[in-house]
Amino acid sequence: MRLVFGPDDLEEYSRARDRLRLHIVAWARRRGIEVEPSLVAAALDHKHGVDGRLAHWTRAHVADALAIWFPRTVALLEDDRDAVPAALHALIGFLAENDWLDSRSAPAAELHAQITDSTPALYDALDDERNHDLGTFWAVQMLRHGVATADPAAVARFLQQVHAGELEIDRAALDEIVRRQEVETAEPAQPDLPPVLPPHAAQLLAAADSSIALARLRAFTRWVRAGRTVTRDGRLLLSDARAVADALDLDHFSRDHARTCDDLPEIALLLAWARQARLVRVVRGRLVQVKSSAPLLSRPIELWRRAFEAVGGIGEHFGGSNVFGAPSLFGMSLGEAFPILLQLVYAAGGDPVPVERFHRAVRDTVNDRMGCVVDDLAGDVEHRLWRRDVTALLDALELLGAVHLSESLDAEDHDELIELAGRDDPDPTLVALTPICMWAVQEMLTEQGVHAPLVGELADEDIEFVCVRMSTVRPEVAEAELAAWVQARPGRAAAQEIMRYLQRAEDPAHRELALDALSRTGTPGREMARFRTRSGAVALRAPATGAQPRVECDARARRP
């Protein structure tokens, strides 16, 4: 039985909730306790919404569920109130008896005590209809007036009667709920990022030293020396641009035919990049080195990060400046879109991501900003120029050694790209971050207040939570995280927790990760063999009465 779910595991959660609800109700009835199935399901829904961990309960979780969540989201009448704490007692009791409460939960006795302590707060909150949300308010009114909520005609008649003043409702409470929901703004959900395994210092140094773009920036900065004359708008003189192109062996095909610095795109990009990285600047008509940045030229890792952070500023040049001359995509420049690209690829944990997914994310962001679908209003020419400049941006990142670029050659993937792009000629490019870029983005996100975990941060978590999280990451990250988890506790304690989990683990990927962790605890080979030879799916113990009881939900107590 799986008890940990991610935000996208909706089907898996739904199946597990239904199974768990049936077993909890059967467990309670064998003990002579009447439990409302829909309220058990509601309690599980609450926990799924909080953190996706159905077996992780603390006193704070219980108090929040009773005093806030149930009154706000579950439609209950006066006679249904006592069923809420009963459902929670049954849920905690079942988990505790099966030894399924996770390692970070409060003891069962404390949880039962908290249910008792928080029950008066539940009643107080239910007595004040202002504590409902809008949907629950109307669901309670319809239950109170005996309206069949599954009948659209009955619901319509009820609303007409309310509008006509024929039925009495607490309009002051309704007005307060409406005002509250208009004021409340949902906080944007923090991205659930995977842990990363940062490279060590020697790997960072080797990556920085092998960066083509970094070598060019360093050579360009040193070429500037005491200064080079520039035009009034900050461009290099054509003679100087040709000279540095010749010195750095760049712009082979443009060098002899260029009329201005802009006709040498690699030099123009290099100049913009060096200025954005604060390696050079224009002073009184001359391009000069920034003295405070001179020590960076001999510090490869610091120089690499400075160049990487500058790419976001160069994005403005990609999207509409004198370098590439393209407009933004319906008001969003590449500089503004650059963080979207980084977070999207970082969230993949090092796996390649279709660049079409980035284009889709930008269009969705534009639409959300405008409040309607507007990105399609951009013309085909604008879309193509935008895509050209995205390609230029990715090429610059590849030169820096920040990304790996490849192409999808699979026909099935191509069909998916067509659907994602909404056009017949999707970009087949796949982009993945390199280890040094994963390190840099992790530090940037952390500085911005985003939780970007490193390997080892899950060492204090329950083993199932670790296995579920590690099932979607790269093997080397999963192995390092499991090793850190085992090292954080005595071998015997780690082995016992893993073996308890293996008694109910059904998902093959999760079982394999748990077995990998078990192998690191020094567990004897016979124990390992016992778990490895099991069939995988482990059925719950059947109720003592034999057949599984059929459970019907009470129509009076349900979520709207």
pLDDT for 153 = 84
CA angle 335, 341, 343 (to 5 degrees): 115
Picking from 302, 315, 310, 317, the residue whose alpha carbon sits closest to that of residue 278 is: 310
Predicted pLDDT at 507:
93
Query: Listing from the earlier edge strand, what are the strands of the sheet with 403-407?
Result: 353-354, 429-433, 403-407
Q: Which of 319, 419, 427 is nearest to 378 (CA)?
A: 319
Give the residue from 318, 426, 331, 416 showing the smallest Cα distance to 377: 331
pLDDT per 10-residue tile (average), the chain, 560 residues = 91 95 96 94 94 96 93 82 94 96 95 96 86 78 78 81 78 76 62 87 96 96 91 91 93 87 89 94 93 93 95 62 48 81 92 91 80 65 78 92 89 77 83 96 92 93 95 93 94 91 93 93 70 50 38 36
- pLDDT value of position 279: 96
Q: Where are the domains of the chain?
A: 10-183, 196-452, 463-523
Say what angle helices 508-519 and 491-502 make with each other, to 10 degrees: 160
At residue 275, the 3 state secondary structure works out as helix
Rounded Cα distance between 250 and 314, Å, is: 19
Q: Are 9 and 525 in contact (CB under 8 A)?
A: no
Q: Cβ-count burial of 104 within 10 angstroms (0-12 exposed, 13-18 middle, 19+ buried)?
A: middle
Residue 141 half-sphere exposure, CB side, CA atoms within 13 Å? 22
The label of the residue with tokens 């050209």 reads 388
Angle between helix 355-370 and 380-400 (nearest 10): 130
pLDDT at 318: 53
Contact 287, 314 (CB under 8 A): no
**How many helices (H) and strands (E) are present in the chain, helices listed first?**
24, 6
pLDDT of residue 239: 92
Give the model's pLDDT for residue 191: 65
pTM of this prediction?
0.78
User: What gap in Å lies between CA 355 and CA 431, rounded to an integer?
Assistant: 6
- How far is C-alpha 311 from the chain's CA centre? 24
**Strand, helix or coil at 435?**
helix
Which runs of E-coded beta strand occur in 365-435?
403-407, 429-433
